[in-house]
Structure 1
Amino acid sequence: MPRKVVTRNPHREVGVLNPGWLLDHPVEHESNLEKNFIMVALACPVVKDIVHQPITLTLVHPNGESQKYTPDFRVRLTDDTQIIVEVKPEVFVAENKVKHDLAKGQLASEGTPFLVVTEKHINANGLSARAILLMRYGRLSFDEDSALECKQLLEEEFRGSAQVHELVSKGVSESLVWKMVAAHQLRVPVGLNINPQETVELNTQKGDCHDYFCTWFGIA
């Protein structure tokens, strides 16, 4: 879909991604780094929803001063847990450490994890470039019968797991395979290698979604 741009103030341009194959709403971003984060997060098979600037916190510093803070994203996972995420260039992380630590502590008291994600996580080993490619597959259209046949083939002939080229050899469209990965019907290992040798399997991840999400971004 065409990129929608609106202007909130003279210094900040807001773009919108419309991942209609996975979400029922657009997701705003205020920088290329945030845009790349959204795409990498959408590629993660345990992600169920992403919302931009979901809450505003009132942080209380040790000296009693208060500060309003709006994190960048809320990511909801398939086990219905959620993570609040701040996307920040690595060069600005140190100067925002106190604010981030306060936010992390406040959210932890409510049972919600807080993560700071930088370009070192988002762009590691070309991860964001591969996520962009996966989004292009996500926009393709295939009928539900073809997807169902792919799933049945995977279950009946490959016991739920196969390399992409093995499915293609059985007559499955490679584009369909990657479309199903983008739609989280199928999943690939952490690293998101989009090539015929990659292994795909039915997306049945149920637990440990927080840990999986962190691993997806290379966060210990």
Structure 2
Amino acid sequence: MKPKRKVITRSPHRTVGLVACGWLQKEVIEYESQLERRFIQRMLLTPGVIRIIDQPFTVTYGEEKDKSYTPDFLVEFSSGRTLIIEVKPEVFVNKSVEMFNKVSSILKQRTFSFHVVTDDMIDHADLPVKIELLLRYARGSVPDQAVQAVLGAMQSTTEPMSIATVMQMAQVDKTVVFHMLGRTMLIFSDDISLADDTHIKSISKETDHEDVCIPNWLDAATWDPNAGVRAQDRSKQNSVRRPDYSPKLHVGYRQGDDSDF
């Protein structure tokens, strides 16, 4: 049974709330911090995400099964892969390394990938502000005729087009394009930008979903129990293959623990 977060009874020092995204799923997504909220928002702009579940289950571990851990999120992709996510400020990650090593082993045995996402990965540059704006447009509505006009314009070529070109060809204003980007009906061909010369493209199942190799597509660093957490090197990022709107993750895998959920 999924442990529900009792949002109305939380400490006044904690930021809690709900994210509604009816275009993706019927269930609202609960968060317990602004960092978790920003993670959810980034996942909503990640191509291939089909479901986000908060606090999906509890894992028991330890020799006496006297310890428990509840991950923050479960994220399902159209490729069939499932990620289990812990969202945590970078300064607190090292304190939980031992627990993450044990939990990741348990989850791997059940075909889940365990990832730790930090504020350094989520709050890169001014992306949260851009994503917030796009999701604001995503929650609104636009005429279906305008959406079809944009899709028709995008189908005229296999190459990415600038936002300005799409607007001109489809005879729509920028709110329509932002709405479709916010709902991942269109995606950025490189980094997220709201400028007119930003290049965008339509979703292609074959190239944008099914060839996703998680965690490589997310530019993940492997969680090494012997080395601790490895720092990310943003200078080596491939912005086309691993766009900035997907968080870079710490990943933990280790064999040898027979604990059950």
- TM-score higher than 0.5: yes
Is this contact kept in 1: 2:130–2:192, CA < 8 A? yes
> For 2:125, what is the secondary structure of its paired residue?
helix
Please show how residues 68-83 of structure 1 align to structure 2 within 5 Å.
68-83=68-83
What is the CA-CA distance between 1:13 and the residue it aligns to? 4.9
Scaled by the length of structure 2, what TM-score is found?
Answer: 0.75
Distance 2:147 2:47 in 1: 17
Q: Deviations over 1:116-139 (max 9, x none)?
A: 001001001222222111111112
Of all paired residues, the percent bearing the same amino acid is: 26
What is the CA-CA distance between 1:194 and the residue it aligns to? 2.1
Q: 2:27 — aligned with what?
A: 25
Is this contact kept in 1: 2:117–2:248, CA < 8 A? no
What is the CA-CA distance between 1:60 and the residue it aligns to? 1.9
What is the CA-CA distance between 1:32 and the residue it aligns to? 0.7
Is this contact kept in 1: 2:58–2:69, CA < 8 A? yes
- Would the alpha carbon gap of residues 34 and 111 (structure 1) be closer, same or farther in structure 2, given more than 3 Å must change? same
Q: 2:217 — aligned with what?
A: 212
Distance 2:46 2:56 in 1: 20
Q: 1:7 — aligned with what?
A: 8
Is this contact kept in 1: 2:74–2:83, CA < 8 A? yes
Please show how residues 99-118 of structure 1 align to structure 2 within 5 Å.
99-118=99-118
Letter in 1 for 2:91: V
Q: Deviations over 1:135-182 (max 9, x none)?
A: 1111221122221121111112x3352110111222122111111111
Which structure's relative contact order is higher, taking Cα pairs within 8 Å and 6+ residues apart?
Answer: 2
Please show how residues 54-69 of structure 1 align to structure 2 within 5 Å.
54-60=56-62, 66-69=66-69
Q: 2:188 — aligned with what?
A: 188
Q: 1:166 — aligned with what?
A: 165
Distance 1:24 1:199 in 2: 31
Q: Structure 1: 5+ residue runs without aligned partners? A: none
Distance 1:163 1:13 in 2: 38
Q: Structure 2: 5+ residue runs without aligned partners? A: 1-5, 220-241, 251-261
> For 1:93, what is the secondary structure of its paired residue?
helix
Equivalent residue pairs, number: 213
Q: Deviations over 1:90-115 (max 9, x none)?
A: 11101011111111111111111111
> For 1:28, what is the secondary structure of its paired residue?
strand
Is this contact kept in 1: 2:15–2:34, CA < 8 A? no
Q: 1:145 — aligned with what?
A: 145
